[in-house]
């Protein structure tokens, strides 16, 4: 009995002696070897860190390449027409009129693209999903995809996939 008790006691002593002292960046205690201030700096997140808040963005893949656009415009007259461009692409997508949530086809009229100075005037197919319509702030959020062609052959295709926009203000 004494042997079992001694072995159990030894086991618990070894268990607690080998227990790793976990670093907590939310314990409210300053560990000067690991933190600059209480729960920040060192192994913890930086002190005085203010996360960047992105309230508006437009991103997508163009022929498989992820691209983000800062230069965009959303007009409502009465259709929602989203325009975005950079030095290699210029696109207009007609999301149609109405501000109901859900999916709808991208309208062919006023939808067009220019990519690497080649016109892609034919919208073969496109879909947009409105996920949020803020009529107080005049902001629109959602997802889209579109496929344009030059009209010459189907090999001349411009694919816009995984399109996402958040809080784009309309004029």
**pLDDT at residue 8 greater than cutoff 70:** no
Residue 117 CB neighbour total at 10 angstroms = 8
The per-residue pLDDT for range 48-69, each reduced to its tens digit, is 877 666 578 899 999 999 998 9
Report the distance separating Cα 19 and Cα 22, nearest Å.
9
Q: What is the pLDDT of residue 81?
A: 96
The per-residue pLDDT for range 142-166, each reduced to its tens digit, is 999 999 999 876 668 999 999 999 9
Q: What is the pLDDT of residue 20?
A: 47
Average pLDDT over residues 71-79: 92
Q: What is the pLDDT of residue 54?
A: 58
Is the torsion defined by CA of 38, 39, 41, 46 positive or negative? negative
The per-residue pLDDT for range 129-143, each reduced to its tens digit, is 999 999 999 999 999
**Of 4-13, 44-53, 109-118, minimum mean pLDDT range:** 4-13
The per-residue pLDDT for range 14-40, each reduced to its tens digit, is 555 554 455 678 888 888 888 888 888
Contact 140, 130 (CB under 8 A): yes
Contact 74, 168 (CB under 8 A): yes
Q: What is the pLDDT of residue 32?
A: 85
Report the distance separating Cα 82 and Cα 129, nearest Å.
13
- Whether omega for the bond prior to residue 78 falls within 30 degrees of 0, making it cis, is yes
This prediction's pTM? 0.68
Contact 59, 70 (CB under 8 A): no
The per-residue pLDDT for range 81-107, each reduced to its tens digit, is 999 999 999 999 999 998 899 999 999
Q: What is the pLDDT of residue 26?
A: 80
């Amino acid at each position: 009995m004494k042997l079992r008790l001694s072995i159990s006691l030894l086991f618990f002593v070894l268990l607690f002696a080998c227990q790793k002292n976990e670093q907590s960046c939310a314990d409210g205690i300053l560990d000067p070897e690991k933190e600059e201030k209480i729960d920040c700096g060192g192994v913890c997140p930086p002190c005085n860190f203010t996360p960047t808040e992105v309230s508006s963005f437009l991103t997508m893949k163009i022929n498989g390449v992820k691209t983000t656009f800062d230069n965009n415009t959303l007009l409502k007259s009465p259709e929602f027409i989203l325009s975005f461009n950079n030095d290699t692409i210029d696109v207009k997508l007609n999301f149609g009129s109405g501000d109901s949530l859900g999916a709808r086809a991208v309208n062919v009229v006023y939808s067009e693209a220019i990519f690497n100075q080649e016109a892609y005037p034919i919208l073969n197919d496109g879909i947009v999903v409105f996920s949020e319509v803020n009529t107080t702030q005049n902001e629109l959020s959602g997802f889209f995809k579109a496929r344009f062609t030059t009209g010459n052959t189907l090999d001349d295709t411009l694919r816009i996939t995984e399109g996402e926009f958040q809080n784009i203000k309309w004029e």
